[in-house]
Amino acid sequence: MMGDLGRAWRTLCETRFQTGVPLSGLTTIRTGGPARWFLDVENEEEAALAWTAAQAVGVPVLFIGNGSNLLIPDSGYPGLAVHFGTGFSGMSLDGRRVRAQAGVPLKALAFFAADNHLAGLAFAAGIPGSLGGAVFMNAGAFSAEMSSAVESVDCLRPDGKRLRLSLQEARMAYRHTRMMDEGLVVLGAVLLLSPGSRDALYVEMAQFQTLRRDKQPLTWPSAGSFFKRPPGCFAGALIEQAGLKGFRIGGAQVSEKHAGFLINLGGATTTDFIALKDEVQRRVMERFGVMLEPEVRIIPEIPA
């Protein structure tokens, strides 16, 4: 088996992988170095083969969707980056159920649902992520989360086998899921929605978009809300009360518009953002006794 996977790895290297692909352009915060190998995956079988073959030859693997909640080291990723992009963005309708692949942008998914007179995803129209990452971390906005729409989740295990989890089995809590605990990759999901009015849903999505534009620094690259909400309060409020609005390190800044966002003013590095994160955590802890936990997924440096 090891020999077969080794041969599969060599074949993928020769026929499907790109090398040295910059990952900064695949993250909304716009930092991070190149991937040693890169695969824009086309189907579930290819994703499974690439992951198992990489493990067989000792190569680490990073799965990327829209990169909206991701910080990648400035040195890059010395393994294989598997991207769920346009080739992995199918959607289909079965009554009130929408089946969607991991690479579907949340905005496209929300509008697809609205166009089919289905409610339950309007909150997600402005989240700059894709379905896979949103389900993986149970993303949310405006007091709603993906768990409110998910019926089941299709996952890939490290051994290359598929696994379908019910909503209950997926254990989706605030910015946390079973997939995160067990290192499962989300391939797609079935969303169970409720009947709705297309026109009313369009109005609702427009209202959410207006709220975002008014309150969030959407004109600057960021990873969205950088920290999770602490119990009983808001991370942005604590950061602002600690006097950190506008505080910057290098090209990374605590947004002057919304302190819960760390933004890229241009030329920022991941190192800048890590240093800024650390300082924000230190000062908030010093003043309020609250340790802010990042919502953003920070990929550790891996020796090449």
Catalytically active residues, by annotation: 175, 225, 295
Q: Which long-range contacts (CB under 8 A, 24 or more apart) does 103-110 make?
A: 103/65, 103/130, 103/131, 103/132, 104/130, 104/131, 105/66, 105/129, 105/130, 105/131, 106/130, 106/131, 106/134, 106/139, 109/191, 110/205
Find, among 251, 264, 267, the residue nearest to 218 by Cα.
Answer: 264
- Please compute, for residue 247, the number of CA atoms within 13 A of its CA located in the half-sphere on the CB side: 18
CA distance 259 to 240: 6
Q: Please name which of 56, 14, 60, 12 lies closest in space to residue 36, comparing C-alpha atoms.
A: 60
Pick from 267, 268, 264, 271: nearest CA to 301: 271
Q: Answer for the pair 303, 79: CB distance below 8 angstroms, yes or no.
A: no
Q: Are 154 and 189 in contact (CB under 8 A)?
A: yes
